[in-house]
Amino acid sequence: PHLAALVLARGGSKGIPLKNIKLLAGVPLIGWVLRAATDAGVFHSIWVSTDHDEIEKVAKQFGAKVHRRSPEVSQDSSTSLEAITEFLNHHREVDIVGNIQATSPCLHPSDLIKVADLIQKEGFDSVFSVVRRHQFRWSEVKKGDNKMTEPQNLNPAKRYRRQDWPGELYENGSFYFAKRHLIEKGYLQGGKMAYYEMRAEHSVDIDIDIDWPIAEQRVLSFGYFGKEPLKEVKLLVCSIDGCLTNGRIYVTEDHKEMVSYDYRDIVGIDLLKKRGIQVRLISDRDCSKTLSAMQMGCVAKVNVTNKLQVLKDWQEDMGLSWKEVAYLGNEESDVECLKQAGMSGVPADACAAAQKAAGYICKSRGGCGAVREFAEHIFLLLEKVNSARKQ
């Protein structure tokens, strides 16, 4: 049977505008679940149902097909079931829908593989995700009611210790898998049902975690970053114009060039060096005098016509794998380097081609703290690598 992954991503959001493609840890929110769905390898097709051009563009960048939903199922009052039903009406080849929530960025391929087995091999009609919680519940008392609250799942005279109580299962909203015949009857959960229990650290819901920086920390700690294991970065190559500087060149009356840079970026480079990471600079043009004036003490290559070849030479000379190389670029001349490096980033104002090739898009513009921001991103991922080693 044809198993399709379907991510519902409406353009409207009352809380956070275009939340589905807002950058979370340098990746569009929807990109985290699309990457997990792709790498799971169990779906015959992967779709995003949307009514918005920008979301469609991002979905295609991550390899998904796009179903343009109608205005009738794109309202604030529209339900997921209505959007899924419309999708099935247009795609008769689909037998099973895996509705994956875009707001669950810590979803891992291993979870999706196990759920596909439950519904394809073990004959369940619907499977949904849950998480185990150890929370005591009490009855609600409305204002003005002269009533006492009552315990719902505990005896106050004999409160459980956490280790003595198995807890309760709650839907976490990460995914709902269901067969076509069930959805056509108006159900996402029904028939022969099963739940799939996800690990608590993977149950991150952006609808609840509205503090974006906290959600980013959770994703950096527990998110899925791809099939290849992360390695410690040992070399950062940074494009000078448009990354270290803002790309503007000021020319004096006596034909001398001047550029500006952000001191925060110099601090970021110093911090990288202190962590044992080499920083090298690269440029399409001859800016040797500018580099000399900045006195950063970095190996640099200017007047470069083939940045990828220079990057390969440096990587081979240092005996590094590509996973140990990071690259920060902003122009079309950086695209191949961004694709090759194990970790890649661009400033917020990088060209479209560079943004598409990068794994991380900075909030800062070139010459305005982008290097420092990318350095912080590298440090966070290094923490993830070290944590994995300890485990």
Q: Read off the amino acid at residue 163.
A: Q
Please pick, among 159, 199, 248, 285, the residue that the annotation labels catalytic.
159
DSSP 138: B
Strand order in the sheet with 168-179: 65-68, 45-50, 3-8, 96-100, 168-179, 126-133, 193-198
CA gap 391, 274 in Å, rounded: 26
CA gap 300, 288 in Å, rounded: 8
Nearest of 302, 303, 306, 324 to residue 315 by alpha carbon? 324
Confirm whether 159 is a catalytic residue.
yes
Angle CA(245)–CA(246)–CA(250) in degrees, nearest 5?
90
Which H or E element spans position 266? helix 263-274
Query: Three-class SS of residue 352?
Result: helix
CA gap 87, 67 in Å, rounded: 7
Which H or E element spans position 83? helix 80-90
CA gap 129, 365 in Å, rounded: 39
Nearest of 300, 313, 317, 307 to residue 344 by alpha carbon? 307
Question: CB neighbours (10 Å) of residue 376?
Answer: 14
> DSSP string spanning 209-264?
---HHHHHHHHHHH----SSPP----EEEEEIIIIIB-S--EE-TTS-EE--B-HH
Which H or E element spans position 5? strand 3-8
Active site residues: 159
